[in-house]
């Protein structure tokens, strides 16, 4: 009998239905699991479901029965995939479920910042409209999306969908060549050109040792058009302290972030300190979390588990198994 343990069920909204697998099994779920409690809670488990609870090499050494790590997300940076591969433990993730929700949230941030929605809302609540004495006022600049250049870092399904929406707005999407690389083909615009010419830069890359801190002060100083920086991918992709300094120096025009480096963020996180600015919007890692997307994730999660047990594994992550 398979023993399945879901370490952090509360990372999926309670209204989302999570069906039980169609095979003989024992199922246990926990709302949250602290890192130190992971080994004990997985004692005897053959399948673990995790969204953000870490699966480390040290934990794996204590779990001889474990056969599958089913990640309830696309990103698998919470799993030591090399250790899984070494022990013959499969790792499966979720794919394609966020093709609408993340790009839509990305454009919600872009539109709010380009049109200064937050600044105008706050000023209306403060009585500025009445003080103006006329039908409108012009305290904050408003910029159209049409004609603006959108630098997209990450050319996967989310980056591609963002490009499609950008074209519908009349924007010019540019897929950035991978940092430090050239000759990648006609899809890509050179990294430096994207930095120098974009009006908005949006990130849709996985977090790896190679991508961590890919946007830092040297990159901000190269941004000639004071772009908006939008991140609905992973917080560690951007040096957050450098971003706030870039905002202070006027090197970038604003920031719309759904992710930070370390979640939930500490009160002294640079973006938390900057979040009161009208040109900064910080949302709590919910770009992925439309009801429709979460249900698709939950259904695919159980599909992955059922197919693995049936001997037809899907969505296996390279570098594991």
Name the active-site residue from 221, 234, 292, 306.
234
CA distance 314 to 91: 10
pLDDT tens for the chain, 321 residues: list them: 999 999 999 999 999 999 999 999 999 999 999 999 999 999 999 999 999 999 999 999 999 999 999 999 988 989 999 999 999 999 999 999 999 999 999 999 999 999 999 999 999 999 999 999 999 999 999 999 999 999 999 999 999 999 999 999 999 999 999 998 877 888 999 999 999 999 999 999 988 899 999 999 999 999 999 999 999 999 999 999 999 999 999 999 999 999 999 999 999 999 999 999 999 999 999 999 999 999 999 999 999 999 999 999 999 997 654
**Top-level CATH class of 101-282?**
alpha beta
- Does 58 participate in catalysis according to the annotation? no
Residue at token pair 């010019």: 172
- Given a contact cutoff of 8 angstroms between Cβ atoms, the answer to whether 150 and 310 are in contact is no
Fold match, 2-97+291-309 / 101-282:
yes
Quote the CATH superfamily of domain 2-97+291-309. Answer: NAD(P)-binding Rossmann-like Domain (3.40.50.720)
Tell which residue, 177, 183, 187, 185, has the closest CA to residue 153.
177
Query: H-helix or E-strand containing 3?
Result: strand 2-6
**8 A C-beta contact, residue 162 and residue 152:** yes
Q: How far is CA 252 from the centre of its chain?
A: 21
Please indicate whether residue 263 is annotated as part of the active site: yes
Q: How far apart are CA 308 and CA 289, in angstroms?
A: 26
Which of 61, 221, 263, 292 is catalytic? The answer is: 263
Assess whether 95 carries a catalytic annotation: no
Catalytic: which of 285, 306, 307, 312? 285
Kindly list the domain boundaries of the chain, sorted by start residue: 2-97+291-309, 101-282
């Amino acid at each position: 009998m398979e023993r399945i343990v879901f370490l952090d069920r509360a990372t999926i909204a309670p209204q989302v239905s999570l069906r039980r697998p169609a095979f003989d099994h024992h199922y246990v779920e926990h709302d949250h699991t602290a890192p130190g409690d992971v080994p004990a809670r997985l004692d005897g488990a053959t399948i673990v479901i995790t969204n953000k609870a870490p699966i480390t090499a040290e934990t794996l050494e204590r779990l001889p029965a474990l056969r599958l790590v089913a990640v309830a997300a696309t990103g698998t940076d919470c799993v030591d995939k090399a250790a899984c591969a070494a022990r013959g433990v499969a790792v499966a993730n979720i794919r394609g479920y966020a093709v609408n929700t993340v790009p839509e949230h990305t454009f919600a941030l872009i539109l709010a910042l380009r049109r200064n929605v937050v600044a105008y809302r706050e000023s209306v609540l403060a009585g500025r409209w009445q003080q103006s004495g006329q039908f409108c006022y012009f305290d904050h600049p408003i910029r159209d999306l049409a004609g603006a250049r959108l630098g997209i870092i990450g050319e996967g399904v989310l980056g591609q969908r963002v490009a499609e929406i950008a074209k519908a707005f009349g924007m010019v999407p540019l897929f950035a060549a991978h940092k430090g690389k050239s000759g990648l083909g006609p899809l890509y615009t050179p990294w430096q050109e994207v930095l120098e010419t974009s009006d908005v830069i949006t990130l849709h890359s996985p977090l790896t040792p190679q991508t961590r801190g890919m946007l830092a002060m040297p990159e901000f100083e190269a941004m000639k058009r004071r772009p908006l920086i939008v991140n609905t991918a992973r917080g560690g992709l951007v040096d957050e302290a450098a971003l706030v300094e870039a905002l202070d120096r006027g090197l970038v025009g604003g920031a719309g972030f759904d992710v930070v480096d370390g979640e939930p963020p500490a009160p002294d996180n640079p973006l938390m300190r900057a979040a009161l600015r009208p040109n900064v919007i910080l949302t709590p890692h919910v770009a992925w979390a439309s009801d429709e997307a979460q249900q698709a994730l939950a259904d695919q999660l159980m599909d992955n588990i059922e197919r693995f047990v049936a001997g037809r594994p899907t969505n296996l992550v390279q570098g594991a198994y």
